[in-house]
Amino acid sequence: MALLHLVYFSDVLGVQTPVDVILPEGKQGIGVEASGEAELPKVLYLLHGYSDDQTIWQRRTSVERYAAGHNLAIVMPGVNHSFYCNELYGERYWDYVSDELPRMMHRFFRLSDKPEDTFVAGLSMGGYGAMKLALNFPERFGAAASFSGAVDIASASRRHTQNWKRISGGKSIRGTENDLLHMLKVHAGAEKKPRLYVSCGTADFLYDQHRKFIPLLKKNGWDVTHYEEPDAVHEWGFWDREIRKFIEFCFEA
């Protein structure tokens, strides 16, 4: 796999912006399977959590090795503490990840643009971001995943009040595009929906949000596979296992 540390000028953010990209190659080094496919690579947008940046998935998991053999490109943007939202007084990170980022990746790289070849996943804050993209734009993705996600953001926002003041001006986000519990109802009747994979450890501090989210997804007709790992907490050993499982999930018939 080729690893690219890309920095480009984001018109939306108005600043040079880092994105790390893993691209499949026809040949690999010792012990790593190559895809050997001539088709355009499928693409996974892989989102980081609150305390991390665009490099973290490479540093703390074997995601590159898991993607090898699948003809899969991985795009890892950095969004600081934005929760993948537009800030009322600040940056427009939702516009960046939902519109500009995919446009620029297809401008820079030869990637499949088919919805069935496009995936999104993330952990914690990134799990929220991945579900937000999938629920707001269900026609764009073949599959989406949240690992230990902050899926009830109205509750989670109480942990990061200053960030949410910049996003909502102190107003409630209930019933807005930032509220996953609202958006899963708004798009319940969408003609095309991604398959969802949602997981969390039973000892995770976000587990109660996970338990609330799953029944609502099923009630509103979303195709969701969920997994609860006994005693797992908010940590990288769990997420390393989960990203490997999700990549396999994306390529199931």
d(CA 179, CA 182): 5
pLDDT of residue 158: 62
Closest by Cα among 81, 172, 82, 187 to 134: 187
pLDDT of residue 35: 62
Q: Could you say which residues of the chain have pLDDT below 70?
A: 28-38, 156-161, 253
Domain count for the chain: 1
pLDDT of residue 157: 58
Closest by Cα among 32, 113, 126, 42 to 84: 126
pLDDT of residue 170: 73
User: Environment class of residue 161 by beta-carbon count within 10 Å: exposed (0-12), middle (13-18) or buried (19+)?
Assistant: exposed
Residue range(s) defining the domain that contains residue 20: 2-250
Amino acid letter at 3?
L
pLDDT of residue 156: 62
Q: What is the CATH number of the domain that holds 142?
A: 3.40.50.1820
